[in-house]
C-alpha cells in the first residue's frame, strides 16, 4: 500500500533516509539533501512530494521523494529508499536501501502521481554500474544520455584577461539558440536549459556572435557549473574555464562540480588540464508518463484544399569565427 507522507511516518522516513539513495546529483552534491525536511515541506504542498509504501504483510517498507520545478514538464527523483522492516530497525547492518521489492511499486506509483500533476517525464540519475540501474530498467526507465561529474576542490586564481561578461537579458535569445544548436534534440526533451533567472551566468561573444554560455548555481555545500560552448569555439574552452574560475573560485569547504553530458565529451580534456578530477559517471534515465496517440489523417486531397502552405523554418546561421585569412 502506498500513500502520501503523513506526520506519523516521520520516524520511518528518518530511519530509511540513512540508507537511501539520491537520484538527483545536483541536489545531493550542492544542497545537502535532507529527506525528512523535504517530506515536511511536501505536506503543505511544497516542491518535494513524498510517498510511503508498505507491503501487505508490512515486512518491506520504503519511501520515494520527488523534486518538482515550477512550470516544468519534468520531475526528478530526489530520494529513494526501501528495505525489510527488520533491517530498518537495525542501525549498523550495512544495508544500502536498494531493494527492488520496495523500489518497483514506489517507482510505478511515482509515475502515476506526476502524471496526475500534468508532468510528462520522470528523471533519475544513477551510477552506470550501481545496483539501482537494473532496477530502474525493470521499472521501464530508459537511458537518454550519460553524464560525467568533474570536481575541483580548490583553485588559485590566475591573472587572466576579462574574457567573460555577465549575462544580460539581451543575451537570452542567443543563449536559447546556442542551447538548441548544441544539445541533441532527443536530449532536449529531458534536459531543459538552465533557468536564466536562477544562479549566475556569463557569456563570451566574438564578432557579435555568442560563442559560449556558462551557468553557475551556488548551493549551501558546493557550486554546480554547466558549460555550453559552440563547437567552433572548442579551442577556447581552457580560456573560458580559466576566466570563470577567476570569477568564481572554489574552496575546500565549497568546491565546484561541473556536469558534462556525453555529447560534450570534447570538453573533458580541458577540465582535466584545469585541475578538475572525475568524480563519477552516471546514466540519465527517463520514464514518460504520457504517450502520444496517433491522430487519424484525413484524405490528402482534402488537406491540400483546406490548409494553406506553412512557411518553412527560417535558417539560422551558426556561430562562425571570422577567419584570419578572410581579412586579408
CA atoms within 13 A on the CB side of 186: 9
Are the beta carbons of 177 and 251 closer than 8 angstroms? no
* 302 domain-assigned: no
What's the pLDDT score for residue 98? Answer: 80
Whether 291 is covered by a domain: the verdict is no
Looking at 140, 166, 182, which one is the last position of a domain? 140
Share of the chain above pLDDT 70, in %: 82
- Examine residue 267 and state whether it is found in any structural domain, yes or no: yes
> How many domains are contained in the chain?
2
Confidence of residue 96 (pLDDT cuts 50, 70, 90): low
Residues in the chain: 328
Q: Same domain, yes or no, for 39 and 165?
A: no
Q: Which of 32, 39, 48 is nearest to 12 (CA)?
A: 39
The whole-number pLDDT of residue 47 equals 79
Instruction: Report the alpha-carbon distance of residue 282 to residue 290 in Å, rounded.
Output: 25
With a cut of 80, say whether residue 110 has pLDDT above it: yes
Shared domain for 131 and 7, answered yes or no, is yes
CATH number, domain of 26, equals 3.40.630.30
Last residue of a domain, one of 117, 140, 163: 140
Q: Are residues 164 and 202 in the same domain?
A: yes
C-alpha cell at 173: 535569445
* Mean pLDDT on 124-149: 94
The confidence score (pLDDT) of residue 243 equals 92
Locate 97 and state its grid cell: 536501501
Handedness of CA 126, 97, 255, 280 (dihedral sign): negative
- Those residues whose C-beta lies under 8 Å from the C-beta of residue 137, and which sit 6 or more positions away, are 285
Q: Which residues contact 158 (CB under 8 A, 6 or more apart)?
A: 242, 246
pLDDT band at residue 89, thresholds of 50, 70 and 90?
low
Are 47 and 158 part of one and the same domain? no
Same domain, 250 and 180: yes
294 inside domain = no
pLDDT digits (tens, 9 = 90+) for 256-267: 999 999 999 999
- Does any domain span residue 36? yes
In a domain, 293, yes or no: no
CA dist list (Å): 205 to 22, 178, 209, 242, 321: 37, 12, 5, 16, 10
Residue 307 lies in a domain: no
**Which residues are CB-contacts of 13 (< 8 A; sequence separation ≥ 6)?**
5, 35, 36, 39, 50, 52, 63
The answer on 182 and 134 residing in a single domain is no
**Where in the sequence is the domain holding 112, given as residue range(s)?**
2-140
How far is residue 26's CA from residue 149's CA, in Å, rounded to a whole number?
10
Q: Give pTM, 2 decimals.
A: 0.82
Average pLDDT over residues 24-35: 91
Amino acid at each position: 500500500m502506498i500513500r502520501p507522507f503523513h506526520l506519523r511516518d516521520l520516524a520511518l522516513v528518518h530511519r530509511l533516509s540513512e540508507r537511501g539513495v539520491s537520484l538527483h546529483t545536483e541536489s545531493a552534491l550542492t544542497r545537502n539533501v535532507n529527506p525528512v525536511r523535504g517530506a515536511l515541506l511536501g505536506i503543505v504542498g511544497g516542491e518535494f512530494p513524498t510517498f510511503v509504501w508498505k507491503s501487505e504483510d508490512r515486512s518491506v517498507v520504503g519511501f520515494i521523494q520527488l523534486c518538482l520545478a515550477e512550470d516544468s514538464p519534468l520531475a526528478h527523483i530526489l530520494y529513494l529508499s526501501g528495505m525489510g522492516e527488520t533491517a530498518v530497525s537495525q542501525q549498523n547492518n550495512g544495508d544500502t536501501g536498494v531493494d527492488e521489492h520496495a523500489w518497483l511499486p514506489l517507482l510505478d506509483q511515482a509515475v502515476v502521481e506526476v502524471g496526475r500533476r500534468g508532468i510528462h517525464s520522470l528523471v533519475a540519475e544513477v551510477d552506470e554500474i550501481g545496483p539501482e540501474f537494473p532496477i530502474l530498467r525493470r521499472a521501464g526507465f530508459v537511458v537518454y544520455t550519460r553524464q560525467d561529474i568533474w570536481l575541483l576542490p580548490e583553485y588559485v586564481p590566475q591573472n587572466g584577461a576579462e574574457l567573460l561578461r555577465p549575462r544580460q537579458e539581451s543575451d537570452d535569445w542567443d543563449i536559447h539558440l546556442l542551447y538548441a544548436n548544441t544539445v541533441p534534440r532527443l536530449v532536449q526533451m529531458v534536459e531543459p536549459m538552465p533557468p536564466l533567472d536562477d544562479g549566475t551566468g556569463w557569456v563570451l561573444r566574438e564578432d557579435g556572435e555568442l560563442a559560449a554560455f556558462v551557468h553557475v548555481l551556488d548551493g549551501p555545500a558546493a557550486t554546480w557549473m554547466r558549460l555550453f560552448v559552440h563547437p567552433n569555439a572548442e579551442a577556447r574552452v581552457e580560456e573560458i574555464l580559466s576566466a570563470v574560475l577567476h570569477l568564481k573560485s572554489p574552496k575546500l569547504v565549497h568546491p565546484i562540480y561541473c556536469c558534462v553530458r556525453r555529447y560534450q565529451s570534447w570538453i573533458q580534456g580541458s577540465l582535466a588540464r584545469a585541475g578538475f578530477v572525475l568524480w563519477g559517471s552516471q546514466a540519465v534515465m527517463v520514464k514518460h508518463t504520457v504517450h502520444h496517440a496517433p491522430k487519424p489523417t484525413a484524405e490528402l486531397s482534402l488537406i491540400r484544399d483546406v490548409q494553406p502552405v506553412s512557411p518553412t523554418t527560417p535558417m539560422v546561421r551558426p556561430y562562425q569565427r571570422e577567419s584570419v585569412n578572410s581579412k586579408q
